[in-house]
Amino acid sequence: SEAAELLGLMHYMEGMRLLTALELAAPTSDENVTVTDTELSGVPVRLYLPRRAPAGLRRAVLFFHGGGWCLGDAGMHGYDIASRRISNELDAVVVSVNYRLAPPHHFPAQFEDVYSVTKFFLRSKVLSQYGVDPARVCVAGDSAGGNLAAAVAQQLPEDPEVKAKLKAQVLIYPALQALDLDLPSYRDNAAKPLLPRPLMVRFWSEYFTSDPALREAMATNSHVPPEAGHLLPLVNWSRWLPAAMRGAHAYAGPALGGAGLARRYPGLLDPRSSPLLAGQARLRRVAPAFVLTCEHDVLRDDGAMYAGRLRAAGVPVTHHHAEDAFHGAVTFVSWPLELAVGHRLLNTCVDWLKDNL
């Protein structure tokens, strides 16, 4: 992808998306679940419906895939397997959303797509159509999808048009803030697969713009404008991280600068893109959360800090930290990318949903 971009053959993310295409599975139904590609609120989704006769109203999970807001698809093998399992084992309707990707679509397009589908699905007429209990609906996602799920969970209680409330949110190694890209986890895991720091910086910058100036500023953690200084306590890892994750690192906040960049790309300071920037009053209203973090992951500290901030706001939180896992592990559940840790973490997520949704 880097070589193709340097040669002017294609954008870096276009090259990366070729890897996504290799992982796609057709919408194939089986003896337990009917699988179809359709649209909800004008947005493409993959819909999973249990085939057995319902014993009553069903649960529902709206799932948002990862891929740095630039890659990924609901039809990738790992997501397809997870969605089938959730639909079959929980007797749940699963809506896996194919939101628009960057480039060419930048923030807030991705958020708007997943929010539009969620809001549409929560209408009483639609819930009734699918036989879903309005009190047992969850949003979930991994990585960038975890970011989108957290943002949706924050926005819904603020929306006077939405009457139903989410029962839960499942955030799998979520990316939750773009303000400080020098957390201990970014330092400890800067060169580790599958998400080295330069790639995460690229994902964050592409979410907002293809302007390389933002990417260059993010790479040196000097993209935060002076007027955002009041937001830094919300992402101050020396306060919100457990001591074990802080380790021997010394806190140094981002170098203030980048005022022009922040004016051109205001999404940088928007809690819909960085849910960790939400105030306590906004957090207090969100659904109970399951947060999965992995030790060998640049995004480890985002999830851990969010779990701490949610607890401080009085929100019930289950924080499961996998000491032996890496970013993306939950999708490693099918040949040739099949690992025991992937099955274990997926089982953990499914079991939590069984008990809490």
Is the Cβ–Cβ distance between 82 and 66 less than 8 Å?
A: no
To the query of whether residue 297 is one of the catalytic residues in this protein, the response is yes
As a whole number of Å, the CA-based R_g of the chain is 19
C-alpha span between 77 and 240 (Å, rounded): 35
Q: How many residues does the chain have?
A: 357
Q: Which residues contact 129 (CB under 8 A, 6 or more apart)?
A: none
To the query of whether residue 96 is one of the catalytic residues in this protein, the response is no
CA distances from 128 to 38, 76, 125 (A): 18, 29, 5
CA distances from 113 to 137, 289, 302 (A): 18, 22, 23
CA distances from 111 to 102, 171, 337 (A): 12, 15, 29
Question: Please, is 243 exposed, middle or buried when counting C-beta atoms within 10 Å of its C-beta (0-12, 13-18, 19+)?
Answer: exposed
Which strands make up the sheet holding 33-40, listed edge to edge? 33-40, 43-50, 92-97, 58-64, 132-142, 168-172, 289-296, 317-326
Catalytic choice (180, 297, 301, 302): 297
C-alpha span between 289 and 306 (Å, rounded): 10
To the query of whether residue 30 is one of the catalytic residues in this protein, the response is no
Residues with a catalytic annotation lie at 143, 297, 327
